[in-house]
Homo-oligomer: A and B are copies of this chain.
């Protein structure tokens, strides 16, 4: 059912997104050691608190992003590379979010918006793709 090159591009984007998320987790661990915040505490120093929120906000967004990326990849056929392109934009948005948030939480907006725009794109592709597959199913 899957278009092989499209899936390959989305697999690469998935790995990139996961590596960014992994790096954010490592950063939380580093801050934990630096500011001597003992587990199970998840708060205690402004720098740690920011790193922690960046990590968890990205966890939330991956729960939206990964299913949308793969549903778009499987069902949206006109331009197979387009889901992966939106996916790459999401990854860039998350990196921007991380950098902006670490500097000043009040400035995180642009990073959030880039990621949200990419996910909106994937949602639209998913809906178009599902609608096409549904019509094809009905016609068969």
B126–A71 contact, CB under 8 A?
A: no
Nearest-Cβ distance from residue A32 to partner chain B, whole angstroms:
11
B60–A137 contact, CB under 8 A?
A: no
Q: 8 Å CB contacts to B: which residues of A1-46? A: 1-2, 4-5, 7-8, 11-12, 14-15, 18, 21-22, 25, 38-40, 42, 46
Give the complex CA separation of A91 and B59 in angstroms: 20
Given A1-B2, A7-B1, A38-B105, A14:B67 Cβ within 8 A: yes
A118 interface residue, CB < 8 Å from B?
no
Query: Chain B contacts of A75 at CB under 8 A?
Result: 11
Give the complex CA separation of A96 and B2 in angstroms: 35
